[in-house]
Amino acid sequence: MSAYNIVSIAGSDPSGGAGIQADLKAFSAHGTFGMTVIAALTAQSTRGVTGVHGVPVEFVVQQMDTLFDDATIHAVKVGMLATAEITEAVADAITRHELPNVVVDPVMVAKSGDRLLETSAVKALRTLLLPRADLVTPNLPEAADLLGEAEAADLATMRAQAERLLDLGPRRVLLKGGHLAGDESVDVLVSRDAEPVEFRAPRVATRNTHGTGCTLSSSIAALLPQRPDTASAVADAKAYLTEAIRRADEIDAGGGQGPVHHFHQWW
């Protein structure tokens, strides 16, 4: 058959390390055909974000309807949406077009500390988008924001927060533990129909981790149609990302937090 079509609904990162640009690289790395709906524009580099411009919601809807009325979509990655209005429109389109394998990466704050989602949009994300997700992939600060709790500081609290995130409606939650201390990076997958699964990888000593969340979520989206279950897709995506981080210092894309090496398997 032809390649799987995977669409990213997210923001643009001119530096190429995160957002739409990282998603397309990850889709390609996993042998799928990448498509995009651009929901926001950013002015950013490896040093930080200097501006965010939300695409007019009517044009986001036009992009989605035009694409989804034509192409068969096998999985969706949802990233930075910027505003409540765009978040609501994306949630509506997922339902109207019956999109499968929806992976939501609840992008709220960049690694530089710059906010990428309006505070007013968090409610729309929590109440409208998460219940439509097959998998949501927050990091610890994002989980705390969604739950209105303090950020988890240990694995036990992290597991408990992952379970509470299920109550917001997604079918599965992958809570990423990269912000915890320790020699390993531990992620926890919880779902409504299976036992919790932990994924462990050695922590890599590098400052070049720009776009890791985007890359992991888009890799999972690309792998979901190709693997027998979500846990298998997550395991393979995490292994890919770990090597991409390990090889990140080979990329010279700026003077700040650089990107991971999406094409480490080839060059």
From 83, 137, 214, 238, active-site residue = 214
243 touches 206 (CB < 8 A): no
What angle is formed at CA 210 by the lines to CA 29 and CA 12, rounded to 5 degrees? 75
Cα–Cα dist 34/31, whole Å? 9
From 25, 77, 111, 176, active-site residue = 176
DSSP 115: B
Please say if 176 is a catalytic residue: yes
From 32, 209, 230, 242, active-site residue = 209
Please say if 254 is a catalytic residue: no
48 touches 110 (CB < 8 A): yes
From 16, 19, 54, 211, active-site residue = 211
From 11, 79, 213, 258, active-site residue = 213
DSSP string, 169-190: S-SEEEEE-TTS-SSEEEEEEE
The amino acid at 106: P
From 87, 137, 212, 242, active-site residue = 212
Please say if 213 is a catalytic residue: yes
Show the tokens assigned to 258.
Answer: 């650089």
Please say if 238 is a catalytic residue: no
Please say if 157 is a catalytic residue: no
Please say if 212 is a catalytic residue: yes
**Measured torsion, CA atoms of residues 181, 209, 191, 143, in degrees rounded to the nearest 10:** 70
Q: Which residues are catalytic?
A: 176, 209, 211-214
